[in-house]
Chain A
């Protein structure tokens, strides 16, 4: 079974004006589609890897489970496919988003002091990621929340990579320039600030609840 581009959970224009529809269209149908295509092509010769599923393929990055000649391709495109699949779901119509509540809010306050302090740290991670990459809020092995950023299409599931802070992501932000350039150009901090308006806190809560049991929702 080949991997497929998942449908967007909303229309291309739903996240306007914070994330513009042209960006969503190109981001989904071109960039994410390319990761899917490249991942499928790489796994063509390794059907047993395909059977691992996307989450476990990502967890296998940096281990000997991935054959040498496709390891980098799988890291880049398996990472890209997971990251974007995850990303579409942690965003929603700006009228839907009400801020964190319940258990995840308590966990944020416990780890960072307040939701605002968490956002400040997250924004710094997102703005400070030089080049392409992602910022993440996730659950570490000890159950606590942490913030990290990763380069290119890496993610915190790739625990075996030397520089990765291993976490189950519950919220993530794409800071590759393709995620914001058409509307924001060089103004990445403005994009980051606007993006909070479209965060799907219900999905974040669901991700958190699963992560606390060690599971990775996809």
Chain B
């Protein structure tokens, strides 16, 4: 009898739950591995702003490798069967990360990144989020400048983030390599990947152009607004 898996499709942090076989069978428990989640659009859907070729490598190779390597690392360990977010927090280990962290956090970060974008994205945010941006940064233009600056000044590999606290106050941060604001006790609502693999096929060294395109053409402000609302619950 096949083990059935329950996937919380709507949750970013979903892992696959371990399900025990029906009684009468030998209690062989197979913990299913965490899965590579597909972006919510086709790999060519972000063209011309982010090429299909970039998505094929970035999602199909880099993101996939983080998932595969993480699963290999946690198989048969106490982290096996935990949700992705549990694995990220546990492997962060209070700032002394274990080898699992780089892979697990990158799995999380990349899914968060794909879901931060959409075809025909960009433009200005609206509603409560737009008000908060104006309040906390002065204007949408100032937000764009600050967010771009964070992405530009993250030396080496890393990420730039827009975060919200429980009161709805916004802040921009940047992190190196696999680090994510989640382990810093923050609630991110938007991210941009500034590892060179995120933009090198499309714009090579021109990270400023990549960031401008991301901000103006790719951000999924609907999702960011939803995350913003959720952050205040």
A interface, CB within 8 angstroms of B = 26, 30-31, 34, 76, 130-133, 151-153, 176-178, 181-182, 185-186
Contact = CB atoms under 8 A, between A and B. Distances in A.
Nearest to A187: B61
B29 to A, nearest CB: 32
Interface in B122-180: 155-158, 176-178
A76 B155 contact: yes
A133 B155 CA distance: 11
6 contacts: A76-B155, A131-B178, A152-B156, A176-B156, A181-B201, A185-B197
Nearest to A73: B155
Contact of A130 (B57, B65, B177, B201): B177
Contacts of B68: none
B83 interface: no
Contact of A182 (B155, B177, B204): B204
B205 A186 contact: no
Interface residues of B, number: 19
A177 B196 contact: yes
Interface in B69-103: 102
A177 B178 contact: no
Contact of A30 (B57, B195, B205): B205
B62 interface: yes
Interface in B195-209: 195-197, 200-201, 204-205
Contact of B197 (A31, A130, A177): A177
Nearest to B197: A177
Given A177-B195, A177-B196, A178-B196, A31 B205 contact: yes
For the complex of A and B, the 8 pairs showing the least CB-CB separation, nearest first, are A177-B196, A132-B156, A131-B157, A131-B177, A152-B156, A181-B200, A186-B61, A30-B205
A26 B205 contact: yes
Nearest to B204: A26
Interface in B18-74: 57, 61-62, 65
Nearest to A130: B102
A191 B36 CA distance: 26
A151 B204 contact: no
Contacts of B200: 177-178, 181-182
Contacts of B158: 131
Contact of A152 (B65, B102, B155): B155
Contacts of B177: 130-131
Nearest to B176: A131
A155 to B, nearest CB: 14
A152 B154 CA distance: 11
Which one of A30, A132, A151 has the greatest number of beta carbons of chain B within 10 Å?
Answer: A132
A174 to B, nearest CB: 12
B178 A130 contact: yes
**Of A30, A31, A152, A177, most B-chain CB atoms within 10 Å:** A177
A83 to B, nearest CB: 13
A177 B54 CA distance: 14
B207 to A, nearest CB: 10
Given A30-B204, A30-B205, A178-B205, A186 B197 contact: yes
A34 B177 CA distance: 21
B156 A181 contact: no
A31 B156 CA distance: 12
Contacts of A185: 57, 61, 197, 201
A66 B172 CA distance: 29
A131 B156 contact: yes
B64 to A, nearest CB: 9
Nearest to B53: A185
